[in-house]
């Protein structure tokens, strides 16, 4: 019910050969915008692009699978603590980051466990059920099949058909400990350059971003995303955003573009799904093959965008109320037009979805609505969004 997503600029590649072999690369671009109460005014003209493959940044560094690391004697004698920390994180985590190739494009993934489960974005998987996976320390492609996906959070799990020995599962960090200014490294396969690493910081937390629907994109509205200045390019989708403790703090998913500049990249604005969302969804997909607890807040209503007399969007009108649900318990009725959730203005179904995505089940919030031309409020304890 609460799922109507605004467009987000997503890049997913058509097929063309890479120099290293017949792997498809290159972007398909979809228009859109950044949404959510966390979005600042300076970003309202930006679009957000999914990272299933695209142009790389000058801050990117590519490594060749199987290449040896420089010997300690090759480093400056004085040493550099920050450089050493970067190189340690790369050595710890990069073996856990893989390249995923489908019939229509490529993206990245993260080794989740020793059984061969790999977590990635649902938009990387698309409609495919079989995949070719290349580990960071190998040039040999491995077969994999789909375990399950959850497009509502843009996440999916695939599994290696014959997992090799020595798989390196990644360590996922605590999302609650992610702070502004923390140094981050983004790892993945931009433009098919497997094992690439970029660096930046955590620029913001708690962003809510909406994605498009169609063209392989699931149309998710995702809350509590981590914003980073590390370059995230097409092909990075599904890869790792990592802290200096060698912990994955998010899955690289979106990068901003500037429509007024012809869709050019807006440097230093990327988004990652937080680790807590990733592990919560992936554990359910692996165990049950589906998601039974979305962890997403819901009112327990069916709604649509309401238009005023001038045909301008002016709220979300309640079409139906679930019996025994949060809205019903608070006295919200069909025909009510919701105009605010807490302090967040609601002028469409999409903005209602975005407002709810920034909250968690069990949160008590004020819902402002109009009924028969009169304004009213209701205190609602939010429930959990039911899964299909």
> What CATH number is associated with residue 171?
2.40.10.120
Contact (Cβ atoms closer than 8 angstroms) between residue 352 and residue 316: yes
- Give the number of other Cβ atoms within 10 Å of residue 205's Cβ: 20
Whether residue 228 sits in one domain with residue 134: yes
Task: Share the mean pLDDT of the chain.
Answer: 80
For the chain, percent of residues with pLDDT exceeding 70: 74
SS3 369: strand
CA distances from 220 to 5, 92, 94, 122, 286 (A): 6, 31, 28, 10, 21
Any idea which residue has 């807006």 for tokens? 266
The per-residue DSSP string of 306-317 comes to EE-TTS-EEEEE
Q: Which of 246, 269, 292 is at the close of a domain?
A: 292
CA 119 – CA 138 distance, rounded (Å):
19
In a domain, 75, yes or no: no
Q: Which of 248, 264, 292 is at the close of a domain?
A: 292
Any idea which residue has 């007024």 for tokens? 260
Whether residue 334 sits in one domain with residue 286: no
Q: Which residues of the chain are modeled with pLDDT < 70?
A: 1-79, 212-219, 257, 259-265, 387-388
**For 56, phi and psi rounded to 5 degrees?**
-90, 160
In angstroms, what is the C-alpha Rg of the chain?
21
CA 212 – CA 330 distance, rounded (Å):
32
Residue 149: its H or E element = strand 141-150
In a domain, 30, yes or no: yes
Q: Which residues constitute the domain of residue 202? A: 1-64+80-292
Whether residue 349 sits in one domain with residue 233: no
Contact (Cβ atoms closer than 8 angstroms) between residue 70 and residue 79: no
pTM equals 0.71
Q: Tell which residue, 89, 385, 119, has the closest CA to residue 253.
A: 119
In a domain, 347, yes or no: yes
Whether residue 319 sits in one domain with residue 189: no
Torsion angle defined by CA atoms of residues 210, 212, 218 and 220, in that order, rounded to the nearest 10 degrees: 10
Output the pLDDT for position 255.
82
Q: What is the CATH number of the domain that holds 369?
A: 2.30.42.10
Whether residue 312 sits in one domain with residue 260: no
Any idea which residue has 């070719």 for tokens? 132
Q: Which residues are catalytic?
A: 123, 154, 237
- Give the number of other Cβ atoms within 10 Å of residue 143's Cβ: 12
Whether residue 173 sits in one domain with residue 304: no
Contact (Cβ atoms closer than 8 angstroms) between residue 50 and residue 126: no
Whether residue 344 sits in one domain with residue 253: no
Question: Which residues in 163-175 are b (16+ Cβ under 10 Å) and which e?
Answer: beeebbbbebbeb
Whether residue 326 sits in one domain with residue 177: no
Q: Which of 292, 316, 339 is at the close of a domain?
A: 292
Contact (Cβ atoms closer than 8 angstroms) between residue 219 and residue 212: yes
CA 108 – CA 120 distance, rounded (Å):
7
Whether residue 222 sits in one domain with residue 166: yes
How many helices (H) and strands (E) are present in the chain, helices listed first? Answer: 5, 23
- Give the number of other Cβ atoms within 10 Å of residue 188's Cβ: 35
In a domain, 236, yes or no: yes
In a domain, 73, yes or no: no
In a domain, 70, yes or no: no
Whether residue 237 sits in one domain with residue 121: yes
The total domain count for the chain is: 2
Residue 353 DSSP symbol: H
Whether residue 272 sits in one domain with residue 124: yes
Contact (Cβ atoms closer than 8 angstroms) between residue 182 and residue 243: yes
In a domain, 74, yes or no: no
Could you read off the pLDDT of 279-331 as tens digits, one per residue?
999 999 999 999 988 888 899 999 999 999 888 999 999 999 999 999 999 99
Whether residue 235 sits in one domain with residue 186: yes
SS3 276: helix
In a domain, 278, yes or no: yes
């Amino acid at each position: 019910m609460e799922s109507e997503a605004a467009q987000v600029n997503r890049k997913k590649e058509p097929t063309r050969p890479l120099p290293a072999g017949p792997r498809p690369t290159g972007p398909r671009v979809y228009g859109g915008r950044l949404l959510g109460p966390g979005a600042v005014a300076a970003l309202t003209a930006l679009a957000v692009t999914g990272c299933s493959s695209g142009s790389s940044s000058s801050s990117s560094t590519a490594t060749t699978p199987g290449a040896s690391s420089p010997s300690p004697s090759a480093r400056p004698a004085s040493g550099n603590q920050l450089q050493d920390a970067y190189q340690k994180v790369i050595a710890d985590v990069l073996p856990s980051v893989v390249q995923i190739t489908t019939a229509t494009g490529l993206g990245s993934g993260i080794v989740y466990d020793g059984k061969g489960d790999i977590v990635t974005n649902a938009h990387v998987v698309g409609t495919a059920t079989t995949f070719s996976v290349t580990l960071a320390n190998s040039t040999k492609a491995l077969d994999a099949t789909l375990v399950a996906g959850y497009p509502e959070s843009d996440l999916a799990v695939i599994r290696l058909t014959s997992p090799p020995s020595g798989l390196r599962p990644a360590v996922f960090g605590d999302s609650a400990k992610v702070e502004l200014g923390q140094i981050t490294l983004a790892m993945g396969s931009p433009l098919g350059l497997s094992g690439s690493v970029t660096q930046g910081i955590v620029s913001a937390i708690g962003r809510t971003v909406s994605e498009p629907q169609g063209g392989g994109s699931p149309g998710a509205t995702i809350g509590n995303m981590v914003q980073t200045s590390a370059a995230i390019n097409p092909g990075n989708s599904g890869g790792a955003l990592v802290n200096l403790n060698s912990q994955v703090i998010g899955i690289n998913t979106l990068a901003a573009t500037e429509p007024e500049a012809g869709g050019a990249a807006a440097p230093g604005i990327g988004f990652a799904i937080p680790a807590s969302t990733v592990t919560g969804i992936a554990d359910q997909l692996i165990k049950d093959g589906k998601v039974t607890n979305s962890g997403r807040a819901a009112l327990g209503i069916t709604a649509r965008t309401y238009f005023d007399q001038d045909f301008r969007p002016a709220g979300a009108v309640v079409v139906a109320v679930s019996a025994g649900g949060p809205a019903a318990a608070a006295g919200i009725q069909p025909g009510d037009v919701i105009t605010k959730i807490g302090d967040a203005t609601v002028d469409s179904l999409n903005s209602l979805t975005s407002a709810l995505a920034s909250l968690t089940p069990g949160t008590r919030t004020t819902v402002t609505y109009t009924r028969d031309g009169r304004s009213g409020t209701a205190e609602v304890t939010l429930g959990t969004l039911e899964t299909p």
